[in-house]
Amino acid sequence: MLFAMHSFLLRRGLVLPLVLSAAALLLLSSALAAPAEQSTACFNAPVSADPTPTVCIARVLAQINSTSPDNQFVVSWRSQKAEKGRVVLTSGETFDDVRGANYQGKTHYVAVNNLNAKTTYQFDIQSGNSTFTNNGAHWSAKLGAPVQQTTPYTIFGRVKNPDGSDADNVIVIAQVRDGDKKGTTTRSALLSALIVLADGGDFFNINLDEARIQNNGQKYIFNPDTDKVLITAIGAQGSASQVFKISDLHPPAPPPSLILNANGSGSAVTATPTILEPTITPTASPTLTETPTLPLPTEPPEPPTDTPVPTETATREPILELVTPTIMPAEETQIAENEVETAIALPVGDEIEPPQPTRVSRGVPNVLAPVETNNNSNVIFIVLAVVLLVGAGLLGLAAYFVTRR
């Protein structure tokens, strides 16, 4: 049966279309199984009386496999006028703006924490005196399985108002995007940060090690030199968006500045050139050009090297001095017990009288009387000894011959 069907399809030329159809269905099923990428409409939507289109869910993190403050997500939105904002879970828990429960502004930034991993949370937002429920469907954030953080990779940047001043209370949204078809090839879930000048900084900093895939269950793998990141800044005086190579926002690269614009077409510029001003000012040049005109001091000529060195020191007789050693009281008894006779080495020659040996006793040097030596008497003694030996030998021979007779 199957063979007959195969022959029929082969004769009709239908094998190739069936193979292509099967491949198309397989690709379609894979695409449907993949998580949908989060839309960027939340931070591009214009502000209206209903803040629903501007609600962004970012930094959905699960790091502990239980309820923990490290498990969290962040909700941000914008309003037409300055007002309070909070997030209310459908379970009844409420969370205030990170700038305080009494903060009123046009940007709202609420961190919802102390959550459980692998759990979906539904919530509504309260902005001013109204509660918004996403048209009755509520908003939801799903925490995936715990993902432990590794080495942080933080990106930095500034946000400026149109007049060049530092922007305050600005929401910054980041989304990692693939640039080399390696690692993770889709877009990441959203990350976010908040710039508050009162906290002592005009920079935003976002740790890309927290980047997750769209379902927040796995770490987003990126290459800083080939992958990119979309940065969008939203403040009271407008917004600005720019795509950067990731390594361009990481030290030692200078942090760029995003310039807000009321119509949303803000721009980005590199670090301000004020750092180069000290090297441009030629304040030291006048003093450097005058100093070479001053006469340089001349050194006296060195004596000629072929001048003979006086040789008087070579024939000068050495002078010997008797130095009385200083003996501490603690050493006195030891020296008295160990009397040592010392002698001083003399230079070769007969003109210098040999020094007198000294004996140290009880710490006071005693000079012994010199022993008189006479070289002539020594010679006489030697001659007499030789004569006596010869005479003794002759007497012995004489006695030998007498006894033989």
159 and 74, same structural domain? no
Cα 249 to Cα 18, 33, 241, distances in angstroms: 50, 34, 14
Q: Is 53 in a helix, a strand, or coil?
A: helix
Judged against a pLDDT cut of 70, whether residue 26 lies above it is answered with no
- Give the pLDDT confidence of 253-293 residue by residue, as tens digits: 999 999 999 876 677 777 544 444 445 545 444 444 444 44
47 and 74 both lie in a single domain: yes
85-89 vs 94-96, strand pairing mode: antiparallel
Q: Is residue 125 located within the same domain as residue 163?
A: no
| Residue 98 included in any domain | yes
Taking CA atoms, 143 is separated from 61, 80, 114, 149, 250, in Å, by 7, 31, 12, 15, 28
Residue 31 lies in a domain: no
Mean pLDDT within 345-374 = 44
Give pLDDT, residue 264.
Answer: 67
Residue 218 structural domain:
154-272
Q: Please tell me the predicted confidence (pLDDT) of residue 393.
A: 82
Residue 45 lies in a domain: yes
- Asked if residue 203 belongs to a domain, the reply is yes
The overall average pLDDT reported for the chain is 75
Could you give the number of structural domains in the chain?
2
- Spatial CB neighbours of 222, under 8 Å, sequence gap ≥ 6: 176, 178, 183, 184, 188, 208, 211, 246
Q: Report the pLDDT averaged over residues 292-313.
A: 47
What is the structure's pLDDT at 324? 44
Asked whether residue 127 falls in the same domain as residue 163, the answer is no
Task: Please check whether residues 134 and 225 belong to one and the same domain.
Answer: no
Q: How large is the angle between the packed helices 15-33 and 2-12, nearest 10 degrees?
A: 100
- Whether 257 and 158 map to the same domain: the answer is yes
> Do 123 and 169 belong together in one domain?
no
> Do 167 and 231 belong to one domain?
yes
Q: 305 vs 161, which has greater pLDDT?
A: 161
Rg (CA), the chain: 52
Of 272, 292, 313, which residue sits at a domain end?
Answer: 272
**Which contiguous run of DSSP H or E holds residue 158?**
strand 154-160
Closest among 120, 56, 124, 116 to 89, alpha carbons compared: 124
pLDDT tens digits for range 39-51: 568 988 999 999 9
Residue 267: inside a domain: yes
Spatial CB neighbours of 239, under 8 Å, sequence gap ≥ 6: 43, 44, 232, 233, 260, 261, 264, 266
Inter-residue contact 135 to 51 (CB < 8 Å): no
In sequence order, the 6+-apart residues with CB closer than 8 A to the CB of 150 are 209, 219
Same domain (yes/no): 133, 197: no
End-to-end CA distance of the chain: 162
Both 114 and 163 in a single domain?
Answer: no
pLDDT tens per residue, range 92-137: 999 999 999 999 999 999 999 999 999 999 999 999 999 999 999 9
CATH of the domain at 246: 2.60.40
Within a domain: residue 33?
no
SS3 377: helix
**Which of 254, 272, 290 lies at the terminal end of a domain, its last residue?**
272
Q: What is the 3-state secondary structure (H, E, C) of 197-255?
A: HHHCCCEEEEEHHHCECCCCCCECCCCCCCCEEEEEEEECCEEEEEEEEHHHHCCCCCC
In a domain, 158, yes or no: yes
Does residue 94 sit within a domain?
Answer: yes
Residue ending a domain, among 272, 289, 304, is 272
Q: Is 233:264 a contact under the CB 8 Å cutoff?
A: no
This prediction's pTM: 0.60
Residues 122 and 179 in one domain: no
Strand order through the sheet with 56-61: 56-61, 72-83, 105-112
Sequence length of the chain is 405
The C-alpha atoms of residue 39 and residue 56 are separated, in whole angstroms, by 9
Looking at the structure, do residues 186 and 103 belong to the same domain, yes or no?
A: no
